[in-house]
Structure 1
Amino acid sequence: MTTIGNNLQQVRARIDAACAHAGRGAGEVSLLAVSKTFGPEAVRDAALAGQLAFGENYVQEAVEKIALVGAMGLPQRLQWHCIGPLQSNKTRLVAAHFDWVHTVDRLKIAERLSEQRPGDRAPLQVCIQVNVDGGPTKAGVAPGEAVALARAVAQLPRLTLRGVMAIPDAMEGFEAQSAVHERARGVWTEVRAALASDGVPGWERVDTLSLGMTGDLEAAVHAGSTMVRVGSGIFGGRHYPPAG
């Protein structure tokens, strides 16, 4: 088994242990392998070890990688998630090539994704990114504005609202990590309750809380995450290209 395959086993074991500790079923939390900056060969190795869902931050890199991986003849279709900040000039590429977008934080982006989603593809699955820390330079809608955005996004064609995503600042210690993750779960719960109260068709599909990474997945699972996003724990340390 490859190193990536071994790492996947270890991460899955961590998720299972975290679920058991939280009194949750092992199947309640899915794993998104964050493959940004890693080549198609790394994705292939993870796929051959049973991983089918992959997250990418950089749109142009991802589009090229999706094509290269698609040409490898893997036995199962992979699922691609956009988890990076999304600007208006990238929405057409994302709408055409991805299955999920986790980083919708304003209506304009959602409207463009809806308009640009090809008619021959399944609806694009989207999460609303919430800035649970309140940092002025961080992406994400303010928690108090999440319900209004969710209501608007849920009405758009060719999109399916699936839940809430957050990327809190890194914190030390399980208790501190859990506290901020609990705030994200509170927003997700509020969004679900509001859409159910409104009688929005499909509100029950808002079943995803995208929360937790390599360093804090245990706290995220304890707080109710349904999807953890793990990169370095699977693929190793990253080497970012120089800015320019």
Structure 2
Amino acid sequence: MTTIAERFAAVTAELRAAEIAVGRATGCVRLLAVSKTKPAADVAAAYRWGQRHFGENYLQEALIKQQALSAFAISWHFIGPIQSNKTKPIAQHFAWVHSVDRLKIAERLSEQRPDYLPPLNVCLQVNISGEASKSGVALAELPALVEQVAKLPRLRLRGVMAIPEPQSDYAAQCQPYRSLCSAVQALNLPGLDTLSYGMSGDLRAAVAEGSTLVRIGTALFGERSSLR
């Protein structure tokens, strides 16, 4: 049976190869381990091999794992849809939020971020493929939302996140990421340093088109459990 250590080594090697293939600096793309539905023991195993950033979709599940792993110096990222009644615990217990898609949510996160914690790192989710089933701000509306969120006092706007419609063709995978990267560059805001996109199936395309953070789950932890 393949171990987490072996998967971690394989994923890291693939990521480094993707960077080299397009002439990017080794290590410039961060790995976010998506640990949703996985037990705290799996997170601890990946941590022992050097992984420090973990992404969770489900709030209650994440809070249980955070308590169990409180002795570990983990940077927790919330990457799932955000309901208004969940913003307070998210603001209190995470270092990053990748799925901010409207001003109301950003305002609540800012208001509810404790003063004793550093500003909450946030990315704005962009619905880059225009899918009705997905959350996210339209690309044309991104500049206005950036301007509004950047003014909120307890947030640090870091960049954007996107999950485009799946494509098997490499060129088709590259196109939405290229459009999003260009749009972020056009904003010309130095603080926007994070392009959170790319998963196992389109990692090479994401790295080629400027991703600074890729989200990997199954390739690192194995098939997901249905247990929540």
SS in 2 for 1:28: coil
Give the letter aligned to residue 216 of structure 1: D
Distance 1:209 1:35 in 2: 20
Aligned to 1:201: none
SS in 1 for 2:201: coil
Aligned to 1:64: 64
Asked whether the equivalents of residues 131 and 165 of structure 2 are also in contact (C-alpha less than 8 Å), the reply is no
| 1:109 and 2:105 correspond | yes
Give the letter aligned to residue 223 of structure 2: G
- 1:212 maps to which of 174, 194, 198: 198
Asked whether the equivalents of residues 170 and 205 of structure 2 are also in contact (C-alpha less than 8 Å), the reply is yes
| 1:222 and 2:208 correspond | yes
Give the letter aligned to residue 120 of structure 1: Y
Gaps of 5+ in 1: 197-203
Give the letter aligned to residue 109 of structure 2: L
List, as ranges, runs of 4+ consecutive aligned residues in structure 1 with deviation greater than 4 Å. Answer: none
Distance 1:5 1:190 in 2: 40
**TM-score relative to the length of structure 2:** 0.96
Render the CA deviation track for 1:142-199: whole Å, top value 9, x for unaligned.
Answer: 00001100110000011000001001121102111111221221232233x2xx4xxx
Distance 1:217 1:42 in 2: 22
Query: How far off its partner does 1:28 sit?
Result: 1.2
Distance 1:241 1:51 in 2: 23
Give the letter aligned to residue 80 of structure 1: W
| 1:87 and 2:87 correspond | no
State the superposition RMSD in angstroms: 1.2
Name the % identity. Answer: 50
Asked whether the equivalents of residues 82 and 102 of structure 1 are also in contact (C-alpha less than 8 Å), the reply is yes
Render the CA deviation track for 1:194-244: whole Å, top value 9, x for unaligned.
Answer: xx4xxxxxxx221000010011111100011000000011001112248xx
Asked whether the equivalents of residues 213 and 228 of structure 1 are also in contact (C-alpha less than 8 Å), the reply is yes
Asked whether the equivalents of residues 147 and 190 of structure 1 are also in contact (C-alpha less than 8 Å), the reply is no
Please say which of residues 138-147 and 168-177 is displaced more in the overlay: 168-177
Give the letter aligned to residue 97 of structure 1: H
**TM-score relative to the length of structure 1:** 0.90
Give the letter aligned to residue 231 of structure 1: G
Equivalent pairs counted in the alignment come to 227
Asked whether the equivalents of residues 182 and 223 of structure 1 are also in contact (C-alpha less than 8 Å), the reply is yes
Gaps of 5+ in 2: none
Q: Any residues of structure 2 matched to 1:155-194 within 5 Å, and which?
A: 155-191=151-187, 193=188
